[in-house]
Amino acid sequence: MRKLIWLTLLVAILSCETEPDKLMVSKFKITDANGQSIIRIDEKGNIIKQGIKVGAVKKKGIIVDKKDRTVLQLGDQNDSLFLDNEGKEVIVIHKDGRFLASTGEEIHWSDSGELMKDDESIGITVSPVEKSLLQIASVLLYLHYVI
């Protein structure tokens, strides 16, 4: 009987932990035209700007500040819509990192990892160039540099 109770409890715990990741959290960096790192993510999802931790990216689609307060979160119904901590719509950033700038111009990443405004390079690059990281790279640039 005890084994049955433990087995049931184990299954219940594991089923709660299987929520799929909404954001890819992996080590990468964004550099400027001079090759200087302007923002990076370490292997734990910490956001590092100028050598200082300024926040973190959580796999459940939440970006927090250095005090662990929610700054942005990925909407439940739309994998491109980011909301503030009150649930208000902030910006749409697609899985491929594409979004509209405040000027209405499309911002996107080239195949080589360059950030582009329409067809012109902005001088910012991401490395490694992994399609799964481009959305969060754009989110970080939006948050910390408001493109």
Predicted pLDDT of residue 140 = 92
- Coil, strand or helix: which one is 24? coil
Residue 138 has pLDDT above 60, yes or no: yes
What mean pLDDT is reported for the chain? 85
pTM, 2 dp: 0.79
User: What pLDDT, in 10s, does the model give residues 63-116?
Assistant: 999 999 999 998 887 788 999 989 999 999 999 999 988 888 899 999 999 999
C-alpha–C-alpha distance, residues 26 and 136, integer Å: 10
User: What pLDDT, in 10s, does the model give residues 23-75?
Assistant: 667 899 999 999 999 999 999 999 999 899 999 999 888 999 999 999 999 88
Residue environment code for 129-139, b if the CB has 16+ CB neighbours within 10 A, otherwise e: beeebbbbbbb
Q: Are residues 60 and 22 in contact, defined by beta-carbon separation less than 8 angstroms?
A: yes
Degrees, nearest 5: CA angle 135-138-139: 85
Q: Which residues contact 133 (CB under 8 A, 6 or more apart)?
A: 24, 26, 28, 126
